[in-house]
Amino acid sequence: MQDGYTTPDGRQIGPVLLDLKNITLRFGGVEAIKNISFDIREGEIRAIIGPNGAGKSSMLNVISGFYVPQEGEIWFKGHRRGPMKPYEVARLGLARTFQNIALFDGMSVLDNIMTGRMNMMKASLFSQALWWGKAEREETANREQVEKIIDFLEIQNIRKTPVGRLPYGLKKRVELARALAAEPRILLLDEPMAGMNVEEKEDMCRFILDVNDEFGTTIALIEHDMGVVMDLSDRVVVMDYGRKIGDGTPDEVRNNPEVISAYLGVAHE
């Protein structure tokens, strides 16, 4: 178990990649996260669920470096991670999407996806300005990778379209494409299927599973649709009022009485 295990459907789950220990996050008097610990294993699809305001997005923001918790430790691949800026976390191989779509509406799909590669462009400004050597090779590699993702997510036909003109479901897919452009080891998705119709949800589920399967990407996602969570995830963390009230396989959390009374038993949006 320590080094990994095989799931009932034959997928390989590796050792712990990200370990969150006793995380507490406060906004003034509000404790958004109260002493929460859980881990994310290499290759797994890990869901975070819970009612509105439970602290789920705050938790993703802690993982991605947008918020620095007042207490607790974050360990990445067996090393303790100090306070980091989001771009530093991105360089460790984390990419994310946002609960509210954060794309550039006036820019094309292709250009939006290219912005996902920004943090990977390591050539100096000097060589970029002269368009020499390394910068040129990087630009070519960037284009190739972006084209690969466009094919993978089946959005060739909208590559030149300004994002502002796209329907909601496709915008979400472009946001996923931009995150994938960074070639992340860990992908954080904040409600990737919120507001989608059934068909769009099915597509998004398939893409998430394919990303995990083909690229071996570890995925942590927040999702309200329990059917989706049960279908997709290997393990589920359940939050309520900033606390962790459940953690286990979909079946384990589904049968956890505290989870049922706090979340599963009630209607929510």
* Site of interaction with Mg ion (CB under 5 A): 57, 99
Q: Which does 52 bind (CB under 5 to 8 A by kind): ligand ATP, Mg ion, none?
A: ligand ATP
The CA distances from residue 140 to 131, 132, 137, 174, in Å, are: 12, 12, 5, 21
> Minimum distance between the CB of residue 44 and ligand ATP, rounded to whole angstroms?
21
Among 41, 46, 56, 172, binds ligand ATP (CB under 6 A): 56
Classify 243 as helix, strand or coil: strand
Identify what 256 binds: Mg ion, ligand ATP, none; CB under 5 to 8 Å per kind: none
The residues in 100-159 that bind ligand ATP, with binding defined as CB under 6 A, are: none
Q: Considering the rule CB under 6 A, would residue 266 count as an interface residue with ligand ATP?
A: no
For residue 82, CA distances in Å to 22, 70, 245 come to: 15, 12, 27
CA angle (169 as vertex; 166, 175 as ends), nearest 5? 80
In the complex with Mg ion, which residue's Cβ is closer, 96 or 117?
96
Q: Which is nearer to ligand ATP, 40 or 54 (CB)?
A: 54
- Nearest in space to 100 (alpha carbons), one of 8, 190, 10, 12: 190
Q: Are strands 79-81 and 71-76 parallel, antiparallel or unpaired?
A: antiparallel
**How far apart are the C-alpha atoms of 101 and 190, rounded to whole Å?**
10
Task: Verify binding: residue 99, ligand ATP, rule CB under 6 A.
Answer: yes
Instruction: Say how far apart CA 260 and CA 257 lie, in whole Å.
Output: 5
Candidate ranges 45-53, 105-113, 138-146, 147-155; the one touching ligand ATP (CB under 6 A): 45-53
Applying CB under 6 A, among 18, 23, 36, 54 the residue interacting with ligand ATP is: 54
**Applying CB under 6 A, which residues contact ligand ATP?**
27, 30, 32, 50, 52-58, 99
